[in-house]
Structure 1
């Protein structure tokens, strides 16, 4: 009998250990679902080495940078921070027109940093279909992808582009979400590329701009995740916040463009702390805190699926255009928390 209970106790302890490891794994996955963008458009910012240390101290496991900055890439070596690296707009034409230029770009900025944990390459950020650069986005994506394959990194790094929600022609209700006629010829071939290569769409999602542009019809609590109940009923799906409604409109648009299995990574989302309508420290803190908690659980259309999300942005950047663009920082330039956020 004693042996029986001892064996049962050992079996119980082993089961509990496995359960604990599973819970820890889930907690780590949840914690890693939130990253932060790191822009450097300021003349008073900490060094990249100090910034990487700040990420680690605060448990921020993911970063996005907007061009292949050598100093930042050096600082990221061995850090285990997952990275979105952008191909800036001024490089699109050369990489889209010349496969060898894309190969060299990948060699210089990715292969040469084997101990940096690249996850996505964002080929262009918010390129508009009417811009000259738009014609080079898909060819650049294809050339960069081919270079990634040649380096045998295709299972580690996915190639995509970052879009803004202005590409939507219809966004309300979410089930009717679709890309505008003017955007369709641009985005549909890109969606096909994403489908063929198992890549997500990177999307910059800001409820702030939707609210600030239409405060008469969009309630502030709906934009800040603080509505007490369902605000918008769309068929059998109820929406308590604008973020979910925009995300599901994007998912609906992807479905109509042939990308029903394409996931969305939120490559930017944030709220300014000053400089415009409802831009206060309290509102910014409320938005970011609620966003961090909310993205663990998916949307009404995609429930239970954590949304990989990058908060915009680490610091106020004083060389940006005056106004709200300078006031999205999560930290002060002396590395103090501006909004008292917990990232894990």
Structure 2
């Protein structure tokens, strides 16, 4: 993960490439520049993409494909080895290494202050947390209120879309009007219980599909969620109210090679670079 230079640009995009007919990396960089997108997460070290980004003033979070990391049990050694190699190249102050986790690794998340890592996860996640604390590097978290609503239909849609007019969850003096904050703060609570109270979280993926799974996946819901998300992360959460929340919207383009069907429809743009709905990164 490359350290970010522009703290005012809190929202970026995830640039997945598992789609047919996607534009060239050079055209993608031009699209991002036209739309004030200053941060990008890419999932593999593709040379054409990296060349297009050179000199673009877009900050990059560079991923190592999951297939290159056999399982969570070896993840800590992989992170440590990559950071050692980067430091050996004299880039330790410019590039830091972290990893992305899913919120499904946590449990007891309601109310958020009860959040903790699942018992079978702790022995793998604690060394990673200690490494991140020592190196002062944030933890990356993929955070999707959409999937929480799918898994628990009792959750009101307005709570997930940042449109609730009132507090939905009260937790030791903190009021939660949206599910994003509740999931984020539950993860912070889990970190605190695992020795990571000093860590910051970067939301490395969040988004809403515009099709693929019934009425919940609509253009209107995707537009509402993503636009509200961009504005919301300019501030903090109830548990961490100071500062902003660095966040990457998934996905820049629809990726029609992915499965299941709903995974094909997270894009802000179609393959022809036309926006699927109006969205502003300002």
> Relative contact order (alpha carbons < 8 A, sep ≥ 6): 1 or 2 greater?
2
Give the superposition deviation at 1:30.
Answer: 6.5
Q: 1:246 aligns with which of 155, 172, 183?
A: 183
2-side partners of 1:30 and 1:271: how far apart? 25
Deviations 1:107-134 (A, max 9, x none): xxxxxxxxxxxxxxxxxxxxxxxxx522
* Match status 1:236 vs 2:173: yes
Matches within 5 A, 1:1-344: 31-92=8-69, 133-215=71-153, 217-277=154-214, 278-344=216-282
Give, in angstroms, the shift of residue 322 of structure 1.
4.1
TM-score by length of 2: 0.96
Structure 1 residues 148, 30: CA separation in 2 closer, same or farther (over 3 Å shift)?
A: closer
* Ranges in structure 1 where 5+ consecutive residues have no aligned partner: 1-27, 93-131
Q: 1:90 deviation in Å?
A: 2.4
Unaligned runs of 5+ in 2: none
Residue 331 of structure 1 deviates from its aligned partner by 0.8
User: Greater CA radius of gyration, 1 or 2?
Assistant: 1
- Count the aligned residue pairs: 277
Deviation at 1:150, TM superposition (A): 1.1
Match of 1:229, SS state, is: coil
- 292-301 or 168-177, which deviates more: 168-177
RMSD: 1.2
Look up the SS of the partner of 2:28 in the other structure.
helix
Q: Distance in 2 between matches of 1:31 and 1:150?
A: 31
Question: What CA distance in whole angstroms lies between the structure 1 residues aligned with 2:113 and 2:40?
Answer: 31
Q: Which stretch shifts more, 285-294 or 275-284? A: 275-284
Rounded to whole Å, the distance in 2 between the matches of 1:67 and 1:218 is 35
Q: For 2:185 and 2:72, locate their aligned partners in 1 and report how far apart those are by CA, in whole Å.
A: 25
Say which SS state the counterpart of residue 68 (structure 1) adopts: coil
Q: SS state of the match for residue 32, structure 1? A: coil
- What is the deviation of 1:333? 1.1
State the Cα distance separating 1:44 from its structure 2 match: 1.1
Considering fraction of residues, name the structure with more helix.
1
Whole-angstrom CA distance in 2 between matches of 1:228 and 1:75: 43
